[in-house]
Structure 1
Amino acid sequence: MRGFLERDGVAVAELDEDERAVVARIVADVGLLLGGEAFGMQAEQTRPERSEADEIFSHLVGLEESLAEPSDPAILRLLPNAAPTDREVASEFRRLTEGDLRATKVTRLRLMWEQLSEDGPDWEVREEDAMATAAALTDVRLVLASRLSLDTDEDADRLHTEIELAQHALETDADDDLLVDPERVWLGMLYQALTWLQESLIAFVMSIEERKSDE
């Protein structure tokens, strides 16, 4: 995997086939979490065999849309309460705005899924789509952060330590003695990779803006 770099005015990252498939799958799953369609992933989900990624993300699929206050903490991160201390105000605000917000988020996620569905290793993001893609990456990271229980900087530091321990164990053939959850480590590595990709995409946007300001 290679982060976004500018090429002829376009942000280009490089992902191999497996990396693209995993990121596209989590994007589609977050779209489903928000009540959208599966972005063309339905055929894949109906296959009799299930890949490792299918198993890892199975808990994200099939969650029903609810315009009431959601109970899933991942949805609450995507669609937070406007007035946490006033349930009536929060419910009314959610009723008036949540449909449009969900639609906006699903549209951005669909755009990112379409980018990842192009042939070849390059993930290309046009300048005019960069901020929408960065926002979609934020939504995916919010869902992963919820599943990983990342609420504080200390939680993130703990996850980073767990990943380092897992990588060291694998490098030293001590993975049988690994004292961390392999699924948590896998999701954590995905979270870190998406964070890194988002940072490189934002750097692309900032470089474009700086260049325009100097003109």
Structure 2
Amino acid sequence: MRGFEHDGDRVVALMDEEERTVIARIVADVGLLLGEVRFGAEDEDDEAPEADAERELFEGLRGLDGSASAPTDPAVLRLLPNAAPDSPEISDEFRRLTEGDLRSLKIERLRTMWEQLSEDEPEWSLTLEEAGPTAAALTDVRLVLATRLGLDSDADVDLLHAEIDAGVRALDEDEEAPVDHERVWLGMLYQALSWLQETLVACLADGEEGDV
């Protein structure tokens, strides 16, 4: 994977087919958290048996409760936070008036990113106008992963990095490590998306400076 870089009036990242597929799948699952429409469902046939193990890794991301009040799933609550945490009545009323539009906006940004990643091309190419909504969609994906991984502080992030390092070392040395391999896998995905978003935001900042 290569992070976003300027290419004329566009920003471009490079990734192989497996990387695109993994990121597209988690984007679709976050979209499913926010709505009941599965991206690409109209084009899907039965999935291959070898996809079962990977699909299980993403099952924990789901949990939409469909309630008009505050979501019970903490990941969805991170995406759709209470407007007034100390006043449930105000929060519920604000949610009633605004949540539908906010869900739709987030789902549309995720769907657009999923469609881009689903193209059979090694380049993920964006205009500068597309880069902002894409960065916002990446934030939503990272928030869901951070919630599932229990990342509430810098110390939690440091601990995750240590777990990932231990898991990678054990894999390189063909040894068993006392780590949660599913957590390590999701943690590595979180790291990769964080880095990818950083390169995209850096391109956006460069573009804005160049326009001044």
Fold shared per TM-score above 0.5 = yes
User: What is the aligned-residue RMSD (CA, Å)?
Assistant: 1.6
Equivalent residue number for residue 139 of structure 1: 140
2:22 matches 1:22: yes
Paired residues for 1:86-125 under 5 Å: 86-125=87-126
Counterpart code for 2:102: L
Partner of 2:184 in structure 1?
185
Task: Using the TM superposition, give the Cα deviation of residue 36 of structure 1 relative to its aligned residue in structure 2, in angstroms.
Answer: 4.7
Deviations 1:58-116 (A, max 9, x none): 23346343222110000010000111111111111111110011011011111111111
Q: 1:45 to 1:70 in 2, by over 3 A?
A: farther
Matched, 1:5 2:5: yes
Partner letter of residue 210 of structure 1? Answer: E
Q: Whole-Å Cα distance in 2 between the matches of residues 72 and 181 of structure 1?
A: 22
Report percent identity of matched pairs: 58
Aligned length: 211
Partner AA of 2:135 in structure 1: A
**Partner-residue secondary structure (3-state), 1:60:** coil
Specify every segment of 5 or more residues in structure 1 that has no aligned partner in the other structure, as ranges: none
Find out whether 1:210 has 2:209 as its counterpart. yes
Deviates more, 1:64-73 or 1:94-103: 64-73
Deviation at 1:124, TM superposition (A): 1.0
Q: Which amino acid aligns with 1:146?
A: T
Taking a change above 3 Å as real, the CA distance of residues 106 and 209 of structure 1, as seen in their structure-2 partners, is same
Q: Which amino acid aligns with 1:35?
A: G
Distance of aligned partners of 1:179 and 1:41 in 2 relative to their CA distance in 1, 3 Å threshold: farther
- Distance in 2 (CA, whole Å) between partners of 1:32 and 1:182 is 24
Give the Å deviation of 1:190.
0.3
Call closer, same or farther: CA 1:50–1:76 in 2, change over 3 Å.
farther
Asked whether the equivalents of residues 28 and 41 of structure 1 are also in contact (C-alpha less than 8 Å), the reply is no
The answer on whether the counterparts of 1:2 and 1:13 sit within 8 Å (CA) in structure 2 is yes
What does residue 197 of structure 2 align with? 198
What are the equivalent positions in structure 2 for 1:33-182 lying under 5 Å apart? 33-41=33-41, 44=44, 46-47=46-47, 49=49, 51=51, 52-61=53-62, 63-174=64-175, 176=176, 178-182=177-181
Cα distance change of structure 1 residues 7 and 36 upon mapping to structure 2, 3 Å threshold: farther
CA offsets per residue over residues 14-66 of structure 1, 9 Å max, x none? 11111100100011111110015222046548426251321100233463432
Q: Cα gap change, 1:44/1:164 in structure 2, threshold over 3 Å: closer, same or farther?
A: farther
Which segments of 5 or more consecutive residues in structure 2 lack a partner in the other structure? Answer: none
Q: Which TM-score applies when normalising by structure 2?
A: 0.94
| CA–CA separation in structure 1 for the residues paired with 2:86 and 2:67 | 20
